[in-house]
């Protein structure tokens, strides 16, 4: 039986991470450090991989079955697309298909790594 408090805390953590992501992508481009040579894609990949991990951990703690987590990657991909469109209205920011692809690859990788970690002997470290 999943623990209610544990699942609630995990959802709070995932929600806080999403709030950090939304805040970061809502800042004007002049307030952000310049990320060159593909480092911006690494950032997109990483923040979405972390989001996938946090959401899957929250679902796992809440007792979700493997069939109930199928929507995580498409949801993060959709969020990434909406976030890119949102940036069209932010000064000195733009929308980029390549950024969305990095978001999507991060979501897929975060999902895959999380599934592996949760089934491994390391799982106790992520509880």
HSE-CB for 72 with a 13 A CA cutoff: 31
Give the separation between CA 107 and CA 47, rounded to whole angstroms.
9
Exposed/middle/buried for residue 1 (C-beta within 10 Å: 0-12, 13-18, 19+): exposed
Exposed/middle/buried for residue 109 (C-beta within 10 Å: 0-12, 13-18, 19+): middle
Name the residue ranges covered by the structural domains of the chain: 4-126
| Tens-binned pLDDT, residue by residue, of the chain (127 aa) | 556 679 999 999 999 999 999 999 999 999 988 888 889 999 999 999 999 999 999 999 999 988 889 999 999 999 999 999 999 999 999 999 999 999 999 999 999 999 898 888 777 766 6
Give the separation between CA 51 and CA 103, rounded to whole angstroms.
10
The structure's pTM equals 0.91
CB 127 within 8 A of CB 60: no
Give the separation between CA 48 and CA 107, rounded to whole angstroms.
5
Q: Is 90 helix (H, G, I), strand (E, B) or coil?
A: coil
Q: Is 70 helix (H, G, I), strand (E, B) or coil?
A: coil
Give the separation between CA 99 and CA 80, rounded to whole angstroms.
8
């Amino acid at each position: 039986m999943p623990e209610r408090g544990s699942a609630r805390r995990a959802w709070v953590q995932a929600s806080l991470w999403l709030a950090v992501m939304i805040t970061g992508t809502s800042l004007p481009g002049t307030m952000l450090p310049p990320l060159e040579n593909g480092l911006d894609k690494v950032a997109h990949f990483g923040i979405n991989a972390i989001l996938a991990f946090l959401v899957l951990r929250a679902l796992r703690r809440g007792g979700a079955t493997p069939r109930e987590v199928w929507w995580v990657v498409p949801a993060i991909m959709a969020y990434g697309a909406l976030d890119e469109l949102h940036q069209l209205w932010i000064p000195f920011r733009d929308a980029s298909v390549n950024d969305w692809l990095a978001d999507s690859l991060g979501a897929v990788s975060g999902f895959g790594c999380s599934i592996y970690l949760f089934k491994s002997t390391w799982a106790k470290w992520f509880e």
